[in-house]
Amino acid sequence: MASETSPDESLFDSPEFVTRLTRVAQLWHYVLVSRVLVYFACAFFPGLPGFFDRPSQWLVLGLGIGCDLVLTVIGQLSRSPHRGLPERIGLWCTTVMGLIALGTMLTSVAMFVNGGGMGGGPYVDAFSAIRVGTVLVAASAVAIARPAFFTFAGATALGGAIGKASVPFALAAMIFLLLLIVMVREDVRHQNRTRRAKRKAASEQQRALNLVRDFERAGRGWFWETDRHGQLVYISQTVAAKLGRSASSLIGKPFTDIIRKRIGNDESEERTLGFSLSSRTPFKELTVQAAVQGEERWWSISGHPISNELGNFQGFRGSGTDLTEKKKSEREINQLARYDVLTGLANRLHITDLLERALRNHIGQPQPCALLLMDLDRFKAVNDTLGHPVGDQLLQQVAARLTQIIGDKGQVGRLGGDEFQIVLPQITQPDKLANIANSIILSLAKPFAIEGEQVRVGSSIGISVSEGAGVPSSALVRNADLALYAAKDAGRGVYRFYADAMHDQASERKAIEDALRDALAKDELRLVYQPIVDVASERVSGFEALIRWQRGNAEMISPSKFIPIAEESNLIVPIGEWIIRSACDAIVKLGPDYRVAVNVSPRQFANEKLPATIMGAVSAAGIRPEQLELEITEGIFLDESPENLEMFQRLKRTGVRLALDDFGTGYSALGYLKKAPFDKIKIDQSFVRGAADPSSMNAAIISSIVGLAAALKMETTAEGVETHDDLELIRGLGCSHVQGYIYGKPMALTDALDLIRSGGGRVSAEGYKSAREPRRLTFRTIHVESGGYRYEAIIRNVSTRGALIEGLWNVPEGTSFRLEFGPDLIVDAQARWSEQNRVGVQFAQAVEIAALIGNVAPAPVRARIDRAA
């Protein structure tokens, strides 16, 4: 059945009409009976005189009854249950309508043809009654289908008019008929229109309903409606199911029952909902939590008040959608946005936020807080040599150690790379902070086991503190940054508190950088040369060129200070070129028997043009390339990147010699040397100095380095030899070369030339016999004060001039101390060297050992260090 209705649809296409017309046909036997009755009345009962004489009467009436008979048969046939609608509806309808019209008209003609000819009297009334009755019987049947009724009415009128054969009546009937046709048309049109509109409205309603159902069923959203008391009158089945209830059980319950009441800071949306409901104002997309037991479910709900025609409030109607998944992914995104993926620590954004919050309480008042900035020493080397997966694991383990140490005292965050930040709210006491920093440094100095290997890194820490004076977080971070800088500057593996002077240091750095830019042009740089001596023959084999900078007419600036600045600002490249050219010129002056070594810093090494610069300088000076030696520190050597190895090969091809500088300070394994094309290893001063001291392990280390180097046909130079004792030891250990004050300090080129000329290329050792005098071993805990902070440390041995202190990490050379041996026994001292947690200090003046460490046998006090030769 077509539910759609085209505008030009015919009446017969209307199923409603067809049904009604069928019903008319089905009832037609009553009409048939009534007309047959008319026939019999006319023909037999009192009878019409001459009925059978007038065919216009008996024949026409008979024909009409014939039509009725056919229609009755059609009607009865349509009753049969297995017959649906007739196949050709149009034809069927036309036939039925035609039969109604024809039957009615013929009957009407026959009944009116001689109605008046009976001369009045009771017969007339009887016949009229029968006629009216018949008409009414038929009329009540056709009334079922309005068009059929019109047809019937028309046919009655026309038939009557024809029957009477009265011209004016026939005319009137014709007009009546015309009117009827117009009326039928209009009525049909109107009916069609209303039917169509009705059907459309119904189907639209149905469609809307279906859509709503589908929408609900898909679980995409749900609907709700309340009465004026806020009690549910409708709620989607799906959402009721989610709540573990049936929709019917929720009806009549307050709408707010399906929303979880929360206490906490996130309840603003909930409050908005309450407000909207009570103020009868619309609300849109409020995020609320569903009152579902044991599950976290989020909804977004919207609603608006509804009112009746009179404008009276009737309740709320609205919709809701499920936000749970969205919330979850939001939370995941949030997690990603706030935490470092690798370590799980707070990321830069989050830790900055935490610092901000630690600095102010919830009402915005400043609070005390400390900030630790930590940086791993030599992490890059580990990452580059052992690979990024190892680097990643290292960072994870570092993060784990840090979180363990900090516990709930504060928050650890990773800023990126090997930089970590620790926020410690409410802690400002220097000793507490120093303790924390010390534990971190100690903990991170222990080896990390990664993939069966032991990896070692160190750490440096900068500390800044806000006492609750409302220091902005940015200032705190900057201060910690400066303190970290100072810690690294102090030789790494230490912590530093921020001090205002550090700002000056930072600006001093800047000033140095600016001045260094002009230093080359102003001719402020020069090279000094320190002899390197063959141990066996005491012949000078060459010199190490060391840079000096006389800034303006002012002070000398140590290369240890300005070389790192030159590195950072890339000024090292032009300066390095100048050094190489100057060194080559010096080689020319020194003659073919001598070599000159220059230091090549990592930045220079990374510079593509280095081999070309070297070859240019060598050929310009006209020297043999092997007279030039490049000293490269372990740091570069550790980085096994393809570019690095390529650079090693390119340098090797220029024919210059390569020396591994400061060996032992880094972390390269001895076995590593086998792969490297070095001609020489320079053993770092920290191993050499004091190696003769029986308590030190250094001799054993030097011995193994020398053994390996010899096996690899490399020379060894022991750096920093100052005393005869050390020289003897070095000689005994088989080092091939020595460089140190004992054979000469770095000197101007003219002095170097004098040196080799006067001695015929030979030099003799000149220096102290030994670095230290006899010392007492102790195990005493004392307090050490430095830079305004107090630490606890252990005195391991002590002499009249100095002591070995354990428990202070990587103290930079030159640091001043006050050692508290007792309440009245305070000794000023200065760090001379430091290694890991040990520091060697020199007292400001000689002291009595017995007075310091109490009841021990007094050591033989010697007034001064022995001077040998």
* Residue in 377, 418, 481, 661 binding Ca ion, rule: CB under 5 A: 661
Question: Could you tell me how many residues of this chain bind ligand C2E (CB under 6 A)?
Answer: 21
Give whichever of 319 and 582 is closer to ligand C2E, judged by the CB atom.
Answer: 582
Nearest-angstrom CA–CA distance, 131 and 113: 12
Near ligand C2E by CB under 6 A, which window of 151-159, 169-177, 515-523, 540-548?
540-548
Number of neighbouring beta carbons within 10 Å of residue 365: 10
Asked if 305 is part of the footprint of ligand C2E (rule: CB under 6 A), the reply reads no
Q: List, as own/partner pairs, every contact residues 339-343 make where C-beta atoms lie below 8 angstroms and the sequence separation is at least 24, other chains included.
A: 340/413, 340/414, 342/392, 342/395, 342/396, 342/414, 343/395, 343/396, 343/398, 343/399, 343/414
For strands 221-226 and 232-235, give the pairing.
antiparallel
Q: Are 659 and 717 in contact (CB under 8 A)?
A: yes
Q: Helix, strand or coil for residue 88?
A: coil
Query: Hey, which residues between 719 and 758 contact Ca ion (CB under 5 A)?
Result: 719
Q: Residue type for 581, please?
A: R
Q: In whole angstroms, how close is the CB of 756 to ligand C2E at the nearest point?
A: 18
Give whichever of 269 and 634 is closer to ligand C2E, judged by the CB atom.
Answer: 634
Which residues are bridge partners to 423 per DSSP? 371, 411
Residue length of the chain: 869
Q: In whole angstroms, how close is the CB of 537 to ligand C2E at the nearest point?
A: 20
Q: In whole angstroms, how close is the CB of 720 to ligand C2E at the nearest point?
A: 4
Give whichever of 238 and 739 is closer to ligand C2E, judged by the CB atom.
Answer: 739
Asked if 490 is part of the footprint of ligand C2E (rule: CB under 6 A), the reply reads no
The token pair that represents 190 in the structure block = 């109107």
E strand spans, 163-290: 221-226, 232-235, 283-289
Give whichever of 563 and 714 is closer to ligand C2E, judged by the CB atom.
Answer: 563
Going 19 to 25 to 30 to 31, the CA torsion angle's sign is positive
Give whichever of 320 and 664 is closer to ligand C2E, judged by the CB atom.
Answer: 664
Q: Select the binding partner of residue 342 from Ca ion, ligand C2E, none (C-beta < 5 to 8 A, by kind).
A: none
Q: In whole angstroms, how close is the CB of 544 to ligand C2E at the nearest point?
A: 7
Give whichever of 127 and 549 is closer to ligand C2E, judged by the CB atom.
Answer: 549
Q: Are 472 and 505 in contact (CB under 8 A)?
A: no
Nearest-angstrom CA–CA distance, 495 and 420: 14
Give whichever of 437 and 598 is closer to ligand C2E, judged by the CB atom.
Answer: 598
Residues 6+ apart with CB under 8 A from 168: none
Nearest-angstrom CA–CA distance, 589 and 608: 29
Q: Residue type for 582, please?
A: S
CA-to-CA dists, residue 671 to 386, 504, 505, angstroms: 14, 44, 40
Please report where in the chains the tokens 């009345």 appear, as a residue.
41
Asked if 391 is part of the footprint of ligand C2E (rule: CB under 6 A), the reply reads no
Give whichever of 224 and 562 is closer to ligand C2E, judged by the CB atom.
Answer: 562
Give whichever of 28 and 768 is closer to ligand C2E, judged by the CB atom.
Answer: 768
Per-position DSSP letters for 473-512, written without gaps between them: HHHHHHHHHHHHHHHHHTTSS-EEE--THHHHHHHHHHHH
Mark residues 560-599: x for contact with ligand C2E by CB under 6 A, - for none: x--x---------------x-------------------x
Q: Are 270 and 277 in contact (CB under 8 A)?
A: no
Phi, psi of 300 (to 5 degrees): -110, 125
Asked if 661 is part of the footprint of ligand C2E (rule: CB under 6 A), the reply reads yes
Asked if 546 is part of the footprint of ligand C2E (rule: CB under 6 A), the reply reads yes
Q: Select the binding partner of residue 395 from Ca ion, ligand C2E, none (C-beta < 5 to 8 A, by kind).
A: none
Query: Hey, which residues between 615 and 644 contact ligand C2E (CB under 6 A)?
Result: 631
Near ligand C2E by CB under 6 A, which window of 370-378, 664-672, 733-741, 808-816?
733-741
Give whichever of 788 and 814 is closer to ligand C2E, judged by the CB atom.
Answer: 814
Q: Select the binding partner of residue 34 from Ca ion, ligand C2E, none (C-beta < 5 to 8 A, by kind).
A: none
Q: In whole angstroms, how close is the CB of 560 to ligand C2E at the nearest point?
A: 5
Near Ca ion by CB under 5 A, which window of 368-376, 466-474, 592-600, 807-815?
592-600
Helix 749-758 and helix 572-590, axial crossing angle in degrees, nearest 10: 30
Q: Select the binding partner of residue 530 from Ca ion, ligand C2E, none (C-beta < 5 to 8 A, by kind).
A: ligand C2E
Mark residues 709-728: x for contact with ligand C2E by CB under 6 A, - for none: -----------xxx------
Q: Select the binding partner of residue 377 from ligand C2E, Ca ion, none (C-beta < 5 to 8 A, by kind).
A: none
Mapping DSSP onto H, E and C, the string for 401-423 reads HHHHHHHHHCEEEEEECCEEEEE
Asked if 770 is part of the footprint of ligand C2E (rule: CB under 6 A), the reply reads no
Nearest-angstrom CA–CA distance, 834 and 492: 11
Nearest-angstrom CA–CA distance, 405 and 403: 5
* Residue in 577, 629, 634, 662 binding Ca ion, rule: CB under 5 A: 662
Q: Helix, strand or coil for residue 557?
A: strand
3-state helix, strand, coil in the chain (%, to 5): 50, 20, 30
Question: Could you tell me how many residues of this chain bind Ca ion (CB under 5 A)?
Answer: 5
86: left (phi over 0), alpha (psi -120 to 50) or beta: beta
Q: In whole angstroms, how close is the CB of 544 to Ca ion at the nearest point?
A: 6
Q: Select the binding partner of residue 558 from ligand C2E, Ca ion, none (C-beta < 5 to 8 A, by kind).
A: ligand C2E
Q: In whole angstroms, how close is the CB of 687 to Ca ion at the nearest point?
A: 11
The token pair that represents 307 in the structure block = 């009112």
Asked if 740 is part of the footprint of ligand C2E (rule: CB under 6 A), the reply reads yes
The token pair that represents 649 in the structure block = 């090969």
Q: Select the binding partner of residue 722 from ligand C2E, Ca ion, none (C-beta < 5 to 8 A, by kind).
A: ligand C2E
Near ligand C2E by CB under 6 A, which window of 59-67, 232-240, 407-415, 556-564?
556-564
Q: In whole angstroms, how close is the CB of 730 to ligand C2E at the nearest point?
A: 12
* Residue in 5, 108, 601, 837 binding ligand C2E, rule: CB under 6 A: 601
Question: Of 764, 765, 669, 759, nearest to 725 (Cα)?
Answer: 765
Give whichever of 245 and 561 is closer to ligand C2E, judged by the CB atom.
Answer: 561
Q: Are 461 and 427 in contact (CB under 8 A)?
A: no
The token pair that represents 578 in the structure block = 């100048």
* Residue in 377, 577, 662, 773 binding ligand C2E, rule: CB under 6 A: 662
Give whichever of 460 and 739 is closer to Ca ion, judged by the CB atom.
Answer: 739
Asked if 530 is part of the footprint of ligand C2E (rule: CB under 6 A), the reply reads yes
581 class by beta-carbon count within 10 Å (0-12 exposed, 13-18 middle, 19+ buried): middle
Mark residues 618-657: x for contact with Ca ion by CB under 5 A, - for none: -------------x--------------------------
Nearest-angstrom CA–CA distance, 726 and 730: 6
Q: In whole angstroms, how close is the CB of 791 to ligand C2E at the nearest point?
A: 26
Please report where in the chains the tokens 């307090």 appear, as a residue.
783
Asked if 123 is part of the footprint of ligand C2E (rule: CB under 6 A), the reply reads no
Give whichever of 134 and 599 is closer to ligand C2E, judged by the CB atom.
Answer: 599
Phi, psi of 737 (to 5 degrees): -135, 160
Asked if 741 is part of the footprint of ligand C2E (rule: CB under 6 A), the reply reads yes
Give whichever of 342 and 747 is closer to ligand C2E, judged by the CB atom.
Answer: 747
Asked if 377 is part of the footprint of Ca ion (rule: CB under 5 A), the reply reads no
Torsion from C-alpha of 282, 285, 291, 296, nearest 10 degrees? -170
Q: In whole angstroms, how close is the CB of 598 to ligand C2E at the nearest point?
A: 6
- Residues at the contact surface with Ca ion, assessed by CB under 5 A: 599, 631, 661-662, 719
- Residues at the contact surface with ligand C2E, assessed by CB under 6 A: 530, 545-547, 558-560, 563, 579, 599, 601, 631, 661-662, 720-722, 739-741, 746
